[in-house]
Structure 1
Amino acid sequence: MFRFAASVLVLLSFLASAAAQTPPATTAPPAQTATPAKPPAKKTAKPKTAARPAEPANAGSCDVGVIAGIEDLFGVQKIGLTVFGNDYAEVPVSWGLDDLVFARVRAAARTTPVRRIAYAKGALDSYYHPKASLFRNRREELSNLIRQVAGNAGCQRYLVVMRSEGQLDGTNQTLSGVGIFNRGVGVIAYSYVFAYIGVTWVDGRTFEIMKGPSVTFEGVMKHMADNFVSNELLRKVDNSIFPAEAADAASNTTLRDNTRDFLTQRLDKILPPYFAQ
């Protein structure tokens, strides 16, 4: 029994010694699980604002549409002592006469909104140069013309400023639109800038010609008086600015400035009553 116990003790001692000499197995630390990189934060794309289409020039509500129809045409007229001394030419100029018309309408309108109505070149020709006819209905022609020019502008009213005409006192000569005339010869000659213009209201729905401020007893009398007073329609200027050749008018700055100033004076007298109704 003692021997058996001694043998067990020796065996245990041997095993303990072997265990002390054998390094413990190294347990590899668990591989660290790589933290997955966060995907870059997606920027929330702002919804693209659709580009607004350009608004047409004649879009939106419109109280008064302005049709300026002088068209930068300037008359150069020579009136001789006899019919053989008469001459007339219509000269295209770049003086911004229709721009001036619209500016003076806007000034006269004060707080009333106005919008300029654009039209194609030549759109008014049928009115200014009508086909030969025994009878002419100007009101109907103008009504139809403005209906075409206005298109889909949708204005409540249209104020139309166009060239008109009248007979020069003491002669059988007609003056038309904006221009200059020279009458006589030599030292007895004289020159005047003239501005014959007409203003008309047109209904924006029916395109009927509307009553203007002159269609009253006082207005008619004033209109008649204005036509008899030369200063209302004519402005005397020095003979030196009358162009030797009609085409020279376009580059004559003195003539341009006199014309624009006189036209402004005429418009500032004619237009305000149209916005005082």
Structure 2
Amino acid sequence: MLRNLAVAALFASLCASTGWAQSPSTPPTATPPATAKPVAKKAAPKAKQPAANKPQAVDVGPCKLGVISVIGERYSVQKFGLTIFENEEAEVPIDWGLDDLVFARVKAATGGDPGVRRIAYPKGAFEPFYHPKSRFIPDPNERLPAIVRGITPNVSCDRYLVATTYKGELPGSRMMLNGIGTFNQGLGNLIRHSHLFANISINLIDGRSYEEIKRPFVNFGANFAASMRLTEDPLNKLDNDQFPNPPATASSSAILRERTRALITDRLDRGLPGYLKQD
């Protein structure tokens, strides 16, 4: 009986030992920290692409008339007294768009004809015309046909209309008025009067031979009627307090600018039709 108890005790011990080995105590597993989700970056706004430059209008078709205006860089301010020793003259640089005005009036006179083109030219191209070096024998290179030929090597127009200024004599006197400007005339500081003037010349040049096209009696009727006017043209009249003193103030005078543009417009609108008519 003791032997049986010993065997039973040994068997129970083995079973207990085997049960522990099969079921070991498992330590608690640490919960891994939650992985933070990456913050989605906002897409940077796309830089705006610069707007494509609009293509400039290109002249197409044949050029019937090329317009060259050389009147708009200087403004004359002149004073006349009883003797030549009282006379004063100054030229003031201006930027009043007078050359633009000439082209606009030509376009208007031709009904907006697309065959009328404005011709660009380098600065100083007409300096030989306005300030010729030849005194006794005229130099052909200082005349308009040669200058126009030189600035239009890649242009092909049937004709060229060239607007320039000139020195003209004040009617009833020996006083010369230079180009476009204003003058003040009188005795001392009391009896004086002021006027505007616009001495503009229109020249036509053949686009193939570069010879001048003469218009000897152009607008004769209109010019004769103007010369017979009994009263002074109001476009020429200027109040004395509007005369620029000193002359340098002329360029900043809105009154002079608008009055001068009105005078030039009148002269062009009266003179252009005779030059633009077809032979």
Give the structure-2-normalised TM-score: 0.71
Q: C-alpha separation between the residues in 2 aligned to 1:250 and 1:126?
A: 25
Structure 1 counterpart of 2:262, which letter? D
**Cα distance per residue 1:21-56 (max 9 Å; x no partner):** xxxxxxxxxxxxxxxxxxxxxxxxxxxxxxxxx899
Q: Secondary structure at the match of 2:82?
A: coil
Is 2:211 the counterpart of 1:208? yes
Matching residue of 1:78: 79
How far apart are 1:171 and its partner, in Å?
2.5
Matching residue of 1:66: 67
How far apart are 1:154 and its partner, in Å?
0.6
Q: C-alpha separation between the residues in 2 aligned to 1:253 and 1:99?
A: 17
Q: Secondary structure at the match of 2:65?
A: strand
Q: C-alpha separation between the residues in 2 aligned to 1:142 and 1:58?
A: 25
Q: C-alpha separation between the residues in 2 aligned to 1:141 and 1:104?
A: 25
Paired residues for 1:20-39 under 5 Å: none
Structure 2 counterpart of 1:253, which letter? A
Matching residue of 2:241: 240
Matching residue of 2:268: 267
Q: C-alpha separation between the residues in 2 aligned to 1:141 and 1:60?
A: 29
How far apart are 1:186 and its partner, in Å?
2.3
Q: C-alpha separation between the residues in 2 aligned to 1:190 and 1:90?
A: 20
Q: C-alpha separation between the residues in 2 aligned to 1:84 and 1:138?
A: 36
Select 1:152's aligned residue among 151, 154, 164: 154
The alignment's C-alpha RMSD in Å is: 2.8
Structure 2 counterpart of 1:153, which letter? V
**Cα distance per residue 1:90-123 (max 9 Å; x no partner):** 1111110101111001111115321000011111
**Cα distance per residue 1:192-243 (max 9 Å; x no partner):** 100000001100001000122xx24x75575466567695797011011111
Matching residue of 1:95: 96
Matching residue of 2:165: 163
Q: C-alpha separation between the residues in 2 aligned to 1:226 and 1:136?
A: 33
Matching residue of 1:191: 194
Identity of aligned residues (%): 43
8 A Cα contact 1:92 1:250, kept in partner = yes
**Cα distance per residue 1:140-177 (max 9 Å; x no partner):** 71111111122211111001111122111232221121
8 A Cα contact 1:76 1:179, kept in partner = yes
Structure 1 counterpart of 2:272, which letter? L
8 A Cα contact 2:103 2:118, kept in partner = yes
Q: C-alpha separation between the residues in 2 aligned to 1:233 and 1:224?
A: 18
Structure 1 counterpart of 2:238, which letter? V
- Structure 1: 5+ residue stretches without partners: 1-53
Matching residue of 1:118: 120
Give the structure-1-normalised TM-score: 0.72
8 A Cα contact 1:66 1:116, kept in partner = yes
- Structure 2: 5+ residue stretches without partners: 1-54
How far apart are 1:134 and its partner, in Å?
1.4
8 A Cα contact 1:195 1:234, kept in partner = no
Q: C-alpha separation between the residues in 1 aligned to 2:137 and 2:224?
A: 25
Matching residue of 1:142: 144
8 A Cα contact 2:72 2:94, kept in partner = no
* Aligned CA distance change for structure 1 residues 151 and 107 (closer, same or farther; 3 Å): same
Q: Secondary structure at the match of 1:74?
A: strand
* Aligned CA distance change for structure 1 residues 148 and 235 (closer, same or farther; 3 Å): same
**Cα distance per residue 1:57-111 (max 9 Å; x no partner):** 7875211000011032111111111111111111111110101111001111115
* Aligned CA distance change for structure 1 residues 133 and 226 (closer, same or farther; 3 Å): farther
